[in-house]
Amino acid sequence: MLPSMPRYRGIPDPLASVPERRWLVVRDRVSLPVRFTELPPGTDLKRALAEERQRLVADGWHADELTRYAFCFCDRDNERVCVSIECYEPDKVPVSHGSPRGRPKS
């Protein structure tokens, strides 16, 4: 490595506003979407995530603090959900190895 070259690249911000649409998704304990909302291009993703977190806290949920990641977990009684910002519409994600819809029924 040349002495003038930086050692690390910058870490991208997963909550930076983007020119594409995103989805605010609440998933249950087994990653199935409970509800989701389409966010138009240019939405303040940090704000959208913070507002959903605050809404859940107002409904009696205990929520993890927001960090630099695009998700947080919330717990209430014996329920646990993951609130996240995602690139793909949950109903339209192709079935794949890790997809809940692709798992065999037991």
Q: How far is CA 71 from CA 22, 23, 43, 82, 86, in A?
A: 13, 12, 16, 7, 9
Determine the Cα–Cα distance for residues 90 and 94; give it in Å rounded to an integer.
Answer: 9
Residue 66 belongs to some domain of the structure: yes
**Could you say which DSSP state residue 73 is in?**
E
Least confident of 33-37, 67-71, 84-88, 92-96: 92-96
> Which amino acid would we find at residue 4?
S
Q: Which two tokens stand for residue 79?
A: 């329920």
Residue 14 belongs to some domain of the structure: no
Residue with tokens 């993951």: 82
Range(s) of the domain holding residue 70: 22-89
- In the predicted structure, residue 93 carries a pLDDT above the cut 90: no
Average the pLDDT over 80-96 and give the result: 85
pLDDT category at 6 given cuts 50, 70, 90 is low
Please tell me which residue, 21 or 12, carries the higher pLDDT value.
Answer: 21
Q: What is the number of domains present in the chain? A: 1
Residue 3 belongs to some domain of the structure: no
Q: What percent of the chain has pLDDT over 70?
A: 78
Q: What is the pTM of this model?
A: 0.77
Residue 45 belongs to some domain of the structure: yes
